[in-house]
Amino acid sequence: MKVLITGAAGFIGAALAKAILARGDSVIGIDNFDDYYAPSLKRDRTAEWIAAGGERAQMLELDFADNAALTLALDGTRVDAIVHLGAQAGVRYSLENPHAYVKSNLVGHVNMLELARARRCSHMVYASSSSVYGSRETVPFSVDDRVDHPVSLYAATKKADELMSESYAHLYRLPLTGLRFFTVYGPWGRPDMMMWIFTSKILAGDPIPVFNNGRMMRDFTYIDDIVAGVVAALDHPPHDDAATKPGGSVGPHAIYNIGNNKPELLMDVIEQLEAACGQKAVLDMRPMQAGDVPRTFADIDAIANGLGYRPATGIKTGIPAFVNWYRDYTG
């Protein structure tokens, strides 16, 4: 099978590419290597999976929101399935640069839906986000919950992706699966995310920004568990059988949460980071940021029962693994 992965230089995309190649499939990666964070990190991730895949690995450097460039680059290339992970990420950055989110997350998503339709792909898996749940007070968050009140533009674009996908599943009977990721962390992570920011500042002796005065909970999910969930979803396209799928569709469209099913107190996570780093953190207590939510908590019954997903790595294992990788990578 030849799998097209967008965002293949990203955190999840690069890890997925390695997993897909390891089982003998081929990967075509797409990434524009933008400077939202250091392109050098993206190139280092890419070099790993390109080396592992040999002739079965290919990277195309382009912006999938540019439909003409996308079409030209893939002309004559077989694509059996798509995992669309590329997006403009980050809740807080969406407050500063909304147009980047419209271009990548809306225009880009339509381009990938059209590509999957034109190529008659067996399945397209796409990245949604736990941010679609907004400030829900009822936990855990279920794929059957209504998600009509996003608290950031980023969340709104991800909800829009789900709605556009539902329309394509209905109109064209295109098998689609949306995955709502919950706070992913681990080796090769993103520098704009909490785990990297806190680790770098603790090791440097700088204050770490603790929002909502530490009264936050997140369902931290280790990268290996995320990849296992994506692969399971890819291998199980939803059937076009009129049965109700997770997320409520009666078409060939399913939505799953991928989380650890165990929210962690922010202050407990900081304690684990302090232990792994071998030094105490300097805490800079701050109020809640605009667009942020106080807690996330994934109900994973649908993906556990439907696809056999079982997260295996808690923060007591995952945080030291990340910190050890970070020390090695940054020298």
Report the pLDDT value the prediction gives residue 213, as an integer from 0 to 100: 87
Average pLDDT over residues 217-232: 97
CATH topology of domain 2-182+221-261+291-312: Rossmann fold (3.40.50)
Known catalytic residue at 154:
yes
For residue 49, is pLDDT > 90? Answer: yes
Q: How far is the C-alpha of 116 from the C-alpha of 175, rounded, in Å? A: 9
Confidence of residue 14 (pLDDT cuts 50, 70, 90): very high
Q: Which of 93, 126, 133, 154 is catalytic?
A: 154
Identify any residues that bridge with 57 across adjacent strands, giving them in sequence order: 27
Residue 93 has pLDDT above 90, yes or no: no
How far, in Å, CA of 212 to CA of 136, rounded? 16
Q: Which residues pair with 208 in a beta bridge?
A: 283
Is the pLDDT confidence value at 90 over 90?
no
d(CA 277, CA 203): 7
pLDDT in tens, 145-194: 999 999 899 999 999 999 999 999 999 999 999 999 999 999 999 999 99
